[in-house]
Structure 1
Amino acid sequence: MATRLRSVPSLLGACAMAAAALWPLQAHALFGDDEARRAIVELRQKVEANQKATEAANAEARESNAATRRSLLDLSNQIDQLRAELARLRGQNEQLAREVSELQRQQKDVQAGVDERLRKVEPLRIDHDGQSFTAAPNEKRDFDAAMELLRKSEFGPASAAFNGFLQRYPASGYRPSVLYWLGNTQYANRAYKEAVDSHRRLVSEFPTHLRTPEAMLAMANSQIELKDPKASRRTLEELVKAYPNSEAAAAGRERLARLR
């Protein structure tokens, strides 16, 4: 029994010593769990923070992508609108080009018409029978037409054409030539009195014209045909005196010699 009692304190001491030995381990285990919990909490917080940051970044990225898609859609719409506007402008440009081309054609036609009308009325520079003058296109046309009839020996129509010319163009530069050829057509038509009158008008109105000596010689011929040799002689004498160096005067001298 005593032995058993003595062993009790020893047992208690051993237990105390064992407890003392275990205390640091328990304390260490206790404090290690707290740090682990804190680490876990911090890790969880970091994970949550990262998740939030990731979600925020994803949300921002989604918003950015959505904004980009909207911008691209707007840009695509603008491009479509610009293409449509470009097509419309091209159509307008083509229409304007056609209109301008048509206007240019019309302008050319108008200009050609104006030029044609001007050619019909614009005075022409004429050199005829040793004289220079201006004449309207229709004036030249009518003279040429009368001369063409004369060349064809159509003396009746030619005489009428020359008479009509004098009535239409009394102050024409062609007048002395017309009087000369009118007298010749009248002579060819045996209208000798009218021929004398036409040639006398030429001699009176245009004494310096190159056709005047020839007109005097022709007038003397008409007077012969009218059975008026005295008048013919006087005309030939006036011819020789006024135009002694002309070919008509040389012919007139020969005829004077025959008349004597």
Structure 2
Amino acid sequence: MATRLLRPLMPAVLAACGLWLAVSPARAGLFDDDEARRAILDLRAKISQNEQLIKQQADQIQSLQNGLLDLGNQNEQLRTDLAKLRGQDEQMLRDMADLQRTMRDLQAGLNDRMRKLEPQPVTVDGKTFTVDPEEKAAFEDAMNSLRGGDFDRATTSLNSLLKRYPSTGYGDSARYWLGNAQYGQRDYKGSLATFKAFLAAAPDHPRAAEAMLAIANCQAELKDTKAAKRTLEDLIKRYPQSEAAHAAKERLVALK
């Protein structure tokens, strides 16, 4: 009974089964294509991501390379600047050394000039005193003229010294040598007055005895024999142990 009932339906069932069987491979093919497409899309997405990563890494590498290049350039610039600084330091040291030498030379020159301007101690005829450099130079110049036989110049220089420096320590010696310069000029009256002024100011001077002998000579040249004899006799009494006293004794014999 059931069999009879199912028989009319069998063709339809078989047809449906056939249709399902016919459709199933197509659907399976469709499913395979979708998965392939998805796999391809996924693969493309991964490739794109990888390409982006690679590009990012390449950009980072390029940035690092650029940074290293900049750093190298900076290092080179630093080396150049350092070399310049070293050169400047060396030049500065040389300049400082030159400046120090110049300062030392200037200081030495200044010290020399100051010494020339400072009063200087001198000793003349056993007497020590302090004189200005110009004062000393004036006296030495006059003495050089006297030694050279230039009595006119020596007389002028000694007179100028005594007028310019009335309190000079050279005063006694200057007057003594002025008397000699005048005697060399044959200015016997002037020489006589100068020697007398010398003796009045410095009776104990080491050259006092010689001055008295010079006075006697001036008196003799002026034909004042009596005065010359008195002077010689006074010389022998006042300075008996001097060489001038021995000369005076000889001179007295000549005058007699």
**C-alpha displacement of 1:180:** 1.4
Moved more, 187-196 or 136-145: 136-145
| Structure 2 counterpart of 1:164, one-letter code | S
The total of aligned residue pairs comes to 238
The partner residue of 2:129 within 119, 129, 133 is: 133
Deviations 1:75-109 (A, max 9, x none): 12322432443354356446535643553454245
**C-alpha displacement of 1:217:** 0.8
Aligned to 1:142: 138
Aligned to 1:166: 162
The partner residue of 1:103 within 61, 84, 99 is: 99
Following superposition of structure 1 onto structure 2, how do residues 29-44 of structure 1 map, counting pairs within 5 Å? none
Deviations 1:177-219 (A, max 9, x none): 2211111111121111111111112212222221111111101
CA distance in structure 1 between the partners assigned to 2:86 and 2:213 by the alignment: 81
SS of alignment partner, residue 241 of structure 2:
coil
CA distance in structure 2 between the partners assigned to 1:192 and 1:79 by the alignment: 97
Moved more, 129-138 or 59-68: 59-68
Deviations 1:210-257 (A, max 9, x none): 111111110111112222233323322332232222111222233345
CA distance in structure 1 between the partners assigned to 2:166 and 2:231 by the alignment: 26
Following superposition of structure 1 onto structure 2, how do residues 52-131 of structure 1 map, counting pairs within 5 Å? 58=54, 61-62=57-58, 64-90=60-86, 92-93=88-89, 96-97=92-93, 99-100=95-96, 103-104=99-100, 106-131=102-127
Following superposition of structure 1 onto structure 2, how do residues 9-48 of structure 1 map, counting pairs within 5 Å? none
Length-normalised TM-score, structure 1: 0.68
Asked whether 1:246 is paired with 2:207, we answer no
CA distance in structure 1 between the partners assigned to 2:72 and 2:48 by the alignment: 35
| Structure 2 counterpart of 1:170, one-letter code | P
Q: State the percentage of identical aligned residues.
A: 45
CA distance in structure 1 between the partners assigned to 2:226 and 2:170 by the alignment: 32
Unaligned 5+ runs, structure 1: 1-43
Aligned to 2:16: none
CA distance in structure 1 between the partners assigned to 2:202 and 2:135 by the alignment: 20
Following superposition of structure 1 onto structure 2, how do residues 195-214 of structure 1 map, counting pairs within 5 Å? 195-214=191-210
CA distance in structure 2 between the partners assigned to 1:87 and 1:93 by the alignment: 10
Asked whether 1:184 is paired with 2:180, we answer yes
| Structure 2 counterpart of 1:213, one-letter code | A
CA distance in structure 1 between the partners assigned to 2:199 and 2:49 by the alignment: 127
CA distance in structure 2 between the partners assigned to 1:169 and 1:54 by the alignment: 112
CA distance in structure 2 between the partners assigned to 1:208 and 1:67 by the alignment: 107
| Structure 2 counterpart of 1:233, one-letter code | K
| Structure 1 counterpart of 2:119, one-letter code | P
Length-normalised TM-score, structure 2: 0.69
Moved more, 56-65 or 155-164: 56-65
- The RMSD of aligned alpha carbons is 4.5
Deviations 1:114-157 (A, max 9, x none): 13422431333323322323333333322222222222222222
Moved more, 53-62 or 94-103: 53-62
